[in-house]
């Protein structure tokens, strides 16, 4: 049986592995940071997951999901994003209000329910934040997709997905940027750490902190 706590750890590890596919290992400190739990709690959980065969662990190096762990992670993430989509598209939730509900629903969703929801919504491709419903650790990196922070001046891009933290989402909502939106880079100023973009004939300035939360893809 999988418990809520376990599943959240597995999910976080998966996300960290995806974010940084170069280094195969996720460091304990990253997990402490991301989960907000104390070091001994994280350590204890790592041992639990190792003993269940969901995790490999080398001390002072880090952890990595086993293929079973990966499978569980992808399954939960799918459930998470299905609920986000349902709440947003059918129950009129705003896109910054869906993550927390999904965070709880994902754990008590049977595979049966997951499939039924998926079919009910006619197999959506992505959640409202632009993240794919069906995930796999391998086919993660479409090399065309880059962080907005790395976009080049005078080129056009489409927003693919955005980081799903409430502050980011609320702000993006206010300035009318979302997955699918087309933008043009007027200027990328690494020294002053901002990017000036144009969309809807309006010019907007995006700081680097926010620009790291937006994934875009060059057009044509």
Beta carbon nearer to its own copies, 90 or 140: 90
The answer to whether residue 103 forms part of the interface with Mn ion (CB under 5 A) is yes
Compute how many other C-beta atoms are within 10 angstroms of the C-beta atom of residue 14.
21
Please say whether the dihedral angle defined by the alpha carbons of residues 37, 39, 44 and 50, taken in this order, is positive or negative: positive
Quick one: which segment of 17-25, 49-57, 112-120, 161-169 binds its own copies (CB under 8 A)? 112-120
The answer to whether residue 104 forms part of the interface with its own copies (CB under 8 A) is yes
Beta carbon nearer to its own copies, 82 or 216: 82
Residue 117 contacts which entry, Mn ion, its own copies, DNA, none (Cβ below 5-8 A, type-dependent): its own copies
Tokens (6 digits) for 90: 């059918």
62 to 101: interface string for Mn ion, x by CB under 5 A = -------------------------------------x--
Q: Which of 6, 30, 96, 164 binds Mn ion (CB under 5 A)?
A: 164
Burial class (CB in 10 A: 0-12, 13-18, 19+), 113: middle
How far apart are the C-alpha atoms of 14 and 151, rounded to whole Å?
Answer: 26
Residue 9 contacts which entry, its own copies, Mn ion, DNA, none (Cβ below 5-8 A, type-dependent): DNA
| C-alpha distances out from residue 98 to 48, 83, 101, 166, 181, Å | 30, 8, 6, 9, 20
């Amino acid at each position: 049986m999988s418990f809520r706590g376990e599943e959240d750890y597995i999910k976080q590890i998966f996300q960290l592995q995806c974010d940084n596919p170069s280094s195969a290992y996720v460091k304990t400190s990253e997990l402490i940071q991301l989960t907000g739990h104390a070091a001994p709690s994280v350590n204890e959980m790592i041992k639990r997951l190792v003993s269940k065969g969901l995790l490999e662990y080398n001390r002072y190096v880090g952890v990595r999901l086993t293929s079973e762990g990966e499978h569980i992670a992808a399954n939960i993430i799918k459930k998470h994003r299905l609920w986000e989509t349902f709440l947003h598209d059918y129950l009129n939730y705003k896109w910054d209000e869906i993550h927390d509900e999904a965070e709880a629903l994902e754990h008590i969703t049977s595979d049966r329910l997951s499939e039924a929801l998926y079919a009910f919504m006619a197999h959506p491709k992505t959640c409202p934040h632009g993240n794919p419903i069906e995930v796999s650790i391998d086919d993660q990196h479409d090399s065309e997709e880059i962080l907005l922070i790395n976009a080049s001046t005078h080129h056009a891009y489409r927003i693919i997905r955005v980081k799903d933290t409430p502050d980011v989402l609320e702000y993006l909502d206010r300035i009318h940027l979302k997955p699918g939106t087309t933008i043009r880079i007027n200027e990328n100023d690494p020294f002053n750490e901002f990017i000036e973009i144009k969309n809807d004939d309006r010019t907007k300035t995006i700081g680097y902190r926010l620009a790291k939360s937006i994934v875009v893809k060059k057009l044509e």
